[in-house]
Amino acid sequence: MNKYASELIGTFVLTLFGCGSAAIAGAALGTLGIAFAFGLSIVAMAYAIGDISGCHINPAVSFGMLLAKRMSVKDFFGYVAAQVIGACIASGVLAFIITNCVKLGDYTKTGLGQNGFDSVSAVGLSCSGAIIVEIILTFVFVMVVLGVTSDNKTSHLAGLVIGLSLTFVHIMGIPLTGTSVNPARSLAPALVLGPNSLAFSQVWVFIVAPLIGGALAAVVWRALHSSNVVTDK
């Protein structure tokens, strides 16, 4: 249960501070500021809970770990449940904060840092484009996670490396989709905004595509790290 509690807390922090930065101060922070808010959240949580749960705080990362045979099926479902609950609590808290800001007022107008495509995308990215972008960004991110956590020589740097990697995929992804690479972080704002919202109708992309990206990363990582049999002649 400590692992699951850690994942809940970590995903809460990531969603509140990452999505909160986008919703409350996105215009002032810009792409780089929002990207660093997400990245620094990972760095902070990695060193806070990494030794307890591994600090996945992302169903796509957990799915990659499952397929890479680095976690059990039981833990996978426990992690994902905790991650979604943590993200939903964070989105609810963010909605409450925005509602109590006189100069902001309505969280349905400011948004909750949700993802989107077509009219929601800053550059008008299509649905098919969003799927491809999210698969690629998640693939890269999960490959980094699998790589840096696989060797004790680099594991002490994992929090920093993973946080910076999340930052750099956000730099490209924010203008395109708002950057998901994390189904929990995308599902929570959509649920709070409600079934009639555009975010809710589009959220399937940001659940399916990151999971595909995570799965591909696991398959490629295992293939690249498989033992080669060398025959001496």
Q: Would residue 131 count as lying in a domain?
A: yes
Domain range for 55: 2-224
CB atoms within 10 A of CB 14: 29
**What are the tens digits of pLDDT across the range 193-215?**
999 999 999 999 999 999 999 99
**What are the tens digits of pLDDT across the range 124-151?**
999 999 999 999 999 999 999 999 988 7
Give, in order, the Cα–Cα distances in Å from 12 to each of 52, 73, 197, 202.
16, 23, 22, 22
Q: What pLDDT was estimated at residue 186?
A: 97
Q: Would residue 233 count as lying in a domain?
A: no
> H/E/C letters for each residue in the chain?
CHHHHHHHHHHHHHHHHHHHHHHHHHHHHHHHHHHHHHHHHHHHHHHHHHHHHCCCCCHHHHHHHHHCCCCCHHHHHHHHHHHHHHHHHHHHHHHHHHHCCCCCCCHHHHCCCCCCCHHHCCCCCCHHHHHHHHHHHHHHHHHHHHHHCCCHHHHCCHHHHHHHHHHHHHHHHHHHHCCCCCHHHHHHHHHHHCCCCHHHHHCCHHHHHHHHHHHHHHHHHHHHCCCCCCCCC
Q: Would residue 232 count as lying in a domain?
A: no
CATH value at residue 216? 1.20.1080.10
Q: What pLDDT was estimated at residue 227?
A: 59
> CA-CA distance, 145 to 167, in Å (whole number)?
13
Task: Let me know the angle formed at the C-alpha of 2 by 96 and 97, rounded to the nearest 5 degrees.
Answer: 10
Asked if pLDDT for residue 230 goes beyond 50, the answer is: no
Q: Would residue 193 count as lying in a domain?
A: yes
Mean of all residue pLDDT scores within the chain = 93
Q: Would residue 19 count as lying in a domain?
A: yes
Structural domains in the chain (count): 1
Q: Would residue 144 count as lying in a domain?
A: yes
Q: CA torsion angle for 74, 215, 14, 105 (degrees, to 10)? A: -110
Q: Would residue 204 count as lying in a domain?
A: yes
**What are the tens digits of pLDDT across the range 2-18?**
999 999 999 999 999 99
The three-class DSSP label of residue 198 is helix
Q: Would residue 229 count as lying in a domain?
A: no
> CA-CA distance, 192 to 98, in Å (whole number)?
13
